[in-house]
DNA sequence: TAGTTAGTTCGTTTCATATCGAACTAATCA
DNA sequence: TGATTAGTTCGATATGAAACGAACTAACTA
């Protein structure tokens, strides 16, 4: 029931990272980190409550968020009412898809900004155009790379 | 003094994007968006206060944050006490440097997680290794790309 | 020197969001 | 059927951050 110090600290570190990158609440981040660092068998709701020292209600709502985002999944054992949670099979794929969306959104914004400045602040646009287009093509490249990797992951799945 | 509806809406859109991506407060994000979408001459403190309909104190502290992060800079005109703020010359470069750091951090975390699971959850590690290594090399590639673009920007500066 | 102006400081207020706990539901068990 | 258990719901509390406003400083100006 007690975690090693090494694991505790790693949960904290990964948790903070997830908070920042995935916009999850602190507890959701810690739970997700815990499951990332645990065996593929997963953990029961109760065990998560005890390990995290958090209330049942907090764990319940945060687990539901993680389920909705498809970051985790659950399974049941015959003759056992409990649900067992684990990281979803392809959570790295989800992470990358989110990154792709975020980059695409960034690209759309940059394009809008450049367009607006070309129309309304021509002097500024001229000054920044070369860097702006460099940035645009950089974003395009990154999106391409990510999609490429996603198709490779798709192959792995089969 | 009044902004066009088009500009207002774009400030909102870019502002929300900056809030999410750059971890800036709402007002800091809006001020930064305003300056991104304004002429290279920049805007005085007073004009920013009026345009944003925010208090002097809020504008003051948020501008100082943006200055510290080198997202914006200011200049003065001889015989004019006011300070004029504009986006810093190479703010896109700063953006990319931040992205590079964030990717490097992500890579270090993923490596730590993989290492931990290899030691403590061998079954899970085996199951996820191929995807994990694919992800690792993907992150490496992205970091490489970003550094490459940064050196190209460096060339532009000269 | 007295008045004005640009911008800052700092204590207070407002607001959002995370977590909690007690009461509840629905399924299982004896 | 009555008791137990797994998990949810929902109103209350706590915490932290953002924005505010009044008072202040420091520089200029008449």
Q: What is the DSSP letter of B80?
A: E
Query: Do residue A17 and residue B117 have CB atoms under 8 angstroms apart?
Result: no
Residue A158, pLDDT above cutoff 80? no
Residue B58 has pLDDT above 70, yes or no: yes
Q: What percent of chain B has pLDDT over 90?
A: 85
Token pair in block for residue B75:
């200049």
The integer distance in angstroms from the CA atom of B1 to the C1' atom of D23 is 28
Does the CB of B121 have a partner CB in chain A at under 8 Å? yes
pLDDT for res B1: 55
Q: Which of residues 121-140 of A touch strand C (CB under 7 A)?
A: none
In chain B, residues 74-93 whose CB comes closer than 8 Å to chain A: 90, 92-93
Find which of A87, A91, A124, A137 to mutate to test the B interface (most B CBs within 10 Å of its CB): A124
pLDDT at residue A99 in the model? 93
A120 and B152 within 8 Å at the Cβ level: the answer is: no
| pLDDT on residue B158 | 75
The predicted model gives B74-81 an average pLDDT of 92
Torsion of CA B108, A24, A11, A93, to 10 degrees: -50
Tokens of B59: 């504008």
Predicted pLDDT at A89: 83
Name residues 41-80 of chain A within 8 A of B (Cβ). Answer: none
A20 close to B (CB below 8 A): yes
Q: Is the pLDDT of residue B17 over 60?
A: yes
Which pLDDT does position A1 carry in this prediction?
A: 55
Taking the C-alpha atoms of residue A136 and residue A156, their distance in angstroms, rounded to an integer, is: 31
Average pLDDT over residues A97-107: 95
pLDDT in tens, A115-148: 999 999 999 999 999 999 999 999 999 999 999 9
Cα A147 to Cα A153, B18, B21, B74, distances in angstroms: 10, 24, 21, 40
What confidence tens digit (pLDDT) does each residue in A4-50 have? 999 999 999 999 999 999 999 999 999 999 999 999 999 999 999 99
Strand order in the sheet with B72-77: B43-44, B80-87, B72-77
Q: Do B135 and A96 touch (CB under 8 A)?
A: yes
Inform me whether the C-beta atom of residue B117 falls under 8 Å from chain A C-beta atoms: yes
pLDDT digits (tens, 9 = 90+) for B94-143: 899 999 999 999 999 999 999 999 999 999 999 999 898 899 999 999 99
Mean pLDDT: which of A67-76, A89-98, B128-137 is highest?
Answer: A67-76
Is residue A87 pLDDT above 70, yes or no?
A: yes
Q: Is A12 on the interface with B (CB under 8 A)?
A: no
Could you say which of A37, A96, A109 has the minimum Cβ distance to residue B17? Answer: A109
Distance in angstroms, CA of A82 to C1' of C26?
A: 14
Sign (positive or negative) of CA dihedral A22, A27, A28, A34: positive
């Amino acid at each position: 029931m007690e975690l090693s110090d090494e694991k505790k600290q790693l949960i904290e570190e990964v948790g903070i990272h997830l908070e920042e990158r995935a916009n999850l609440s602190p507890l959701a981040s810690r739970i997700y980190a815990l499951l990332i660092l645990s065996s593929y068998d997963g953990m029961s709701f109760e065990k998560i409550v005890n390990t995290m020292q958090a209330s049942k209600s907090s764990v319940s709502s945060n687990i539901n968020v993680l389920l909705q985002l498809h970051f985790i999944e659950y399974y049941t054992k015959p003759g056992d009412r409990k649900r067992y949670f684990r990281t979803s099979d392809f959570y790295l794929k989800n992470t990358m898809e989110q990154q792709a969306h975020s980059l695409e959104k960034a690209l759309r914004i940059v394009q809008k900004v450049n367009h607006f400045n070309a129309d309304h602040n021509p002097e500024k646009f001229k000054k920044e155009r070369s860097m702006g287009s460099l940035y645009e093509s950089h974003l395009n490249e990154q999106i391409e790379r990510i999609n490429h990797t996603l198709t490779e992951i798709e192959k792995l799945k089969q």
